[in-house]
């Protein structure tokens, strides 16, 4: 499943947490791992702590070497070998381009960076990568000291039964099988309000039985994918704003990974619109894996 992992790092605390997760996944899947640092000269000044007498290129090279070395130490702790790449350019576009060029199966990065001159993993970068990458993107937040056997012990799989959601289910199933994780499927239904002639929403026009059928269908189709991989699961059906409910349930269930598709079908019974995956990635307390 994951043969080539690309780890994008700026050396920030969350990037180092991402490094730990990427290293464990690379080890579990016997995958190659590449650490990528991107320097964006248009928006960043070079650090002033470099050795005196160095020109701008040398100082930039030194700064990138330090970041790659810091990230490499986090990877070394898992006993994983890695290659390193240092690039100059627009961070999100460069990450996406390198992933395509290298044929990466997974991009791993922190949810945000520190904002210092040598940092690049601001939320907008993670957003752009998740939107445009050709492969799944794992956005990591939280602790970087997770034990190898404790990575992703409980996965929350958000699904609306769409094709993209079923792709996410297949990825989640492979992860759960490899990591012996528990799995919970969640479907969130947000009915379209009935709108009066003057544009005021005055209520919902669907009965409970119809909503239940829609949710059952989504969970059933998703469950078939997990069954094919021999992964046991339980399910939850919720009603409300999809992103908020997914994040709430992840916290309530003590999940340490949320998996969801990058988009859904857009109908009133669907939940996995791009904005939902964006909001989940921004507000979840745990890592989020976005699958396209």
Q: Say how far apart CA 291 and CA 172 lie, in whole Å.
A: 9
Q: Report the distance separating Cα 121 and Cα 263, nearest Å.
A: 23
pLDDT average, residue stretch 176-200: 81
- Residue 181 has what pLDDT? 97
Mean pLDDT across the chain:
86
Q: Which domains does the chain have, with CATH numbers?
A: 4-140 (3.40.50.620), 152-291 (3.40.50.620)
Closest CA to 225 of 179, 277, 176: 176
Q: In Å, what is the CA distance from 135 to each residue of 38, 64, 268, 280, 290? A: 19, 25, 27, 18, 9
Give 148's pLDDT tier (boundaries 50, 70, 90): confident
3-state secondary structure of 181: coil
Residue carrying the six token digits 């240092």? 86
Give the mean pLDDT of 55-78.
Answer: 90
Q: What pLDDT, on the 0 to 100 scale, is given for residue 266?
A: 47
Expressed in percent and rounded to 5, the helix, strand and coil fractions of the chain are 40, 20, 35
* Full DSSP string of 113-166: ---STT----HHHHHHHHHH-SS-EEEE-S-S---GGGTTSEEEEE--SSHHHH
- Comparison of pLDDT for 125 and 96, the residue scoring more: 96
| pLDDT score, position 194 | 54
Other beta carbons less than 10 A from residue 69's beta carbon: 12
- State the pLDDT confidence band at 32, using cuts at 50, 70 and 90: very high
pLDDT for the residue numbered 202:
52
pLDDT value at position 242? 93
Residue bearing the bigger pLDDT, 41 or 249: 249
Q: Calculate the alpha carbon distances from 120 to 140, 147, 281 in Å.
A: 15, 27, 17
pLDDT of residue 119: 43
**Which tokens belong to 18?**
């991402």
208-242, pLDDT tens digit by residue?
Answer: 888 999 999 999 999 999 999 999 999 999 999 99
Q: Is the pLDDT of residue 100 over 90?
A: yes
């Amino acid at each position: 499943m994951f043969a080539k992992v690309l780890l994008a790092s700026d050396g920030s605390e969350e990037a180092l947490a991402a490094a730990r997760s990427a290293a464990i996944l690379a080890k579990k899947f016997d995958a190659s791992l590449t650490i990528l640092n991107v320097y964006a000269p248009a928006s960043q000044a070079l650090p002033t702590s470099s050795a005196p007498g160095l020109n701008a290129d040398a100082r930039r090279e030194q700064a990138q070497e330090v970041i790659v070395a810091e990230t490499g130490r986090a990877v070394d702790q898992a006993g994983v070998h890695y290659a390193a790449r240092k690039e100059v350019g627009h961070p999100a576009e460069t990450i996406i381009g390198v992933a395509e060029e290298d044929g990466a199966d997974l991009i791993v990065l922190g949810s945000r960076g520190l904002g210092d001159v040598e940092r690049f993993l601001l939320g907008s970068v993670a957003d752009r990568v998740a939107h445009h990458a050709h492969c799944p993107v794992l956005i990591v937040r939280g602790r970087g000291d997770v034990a190898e056997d404790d990575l992703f012990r409980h996965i929350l799989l958000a699904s609306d039964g769409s094709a993209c959601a079923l792709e996410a289910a297949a990825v989640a199933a492979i992860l759960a099988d490899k990591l012996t994780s528990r799995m919970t499927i969640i479907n969130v239904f947000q009915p379209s309000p009935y709108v009066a002639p003057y544009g005021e929403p005055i209520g919902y026009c669907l009965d409970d039985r119809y909503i239940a059928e829609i949710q059952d269908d989504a969970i059933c189709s998703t469950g078939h994918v997990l069954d094919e991989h021999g992964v046991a699961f339980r399910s939850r059906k919720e009603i409300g704003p999809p992103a908020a409910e997914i994040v709430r349930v992840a916290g309530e269930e003590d999940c340490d990974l949320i998996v969801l598709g990058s988009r859904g079908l857009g109908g009133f019974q669907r939940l996995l619109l791009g904005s939902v995956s964006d909001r989940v990635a921004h507000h979840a307390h745990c890592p989020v894996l976005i699958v396209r």
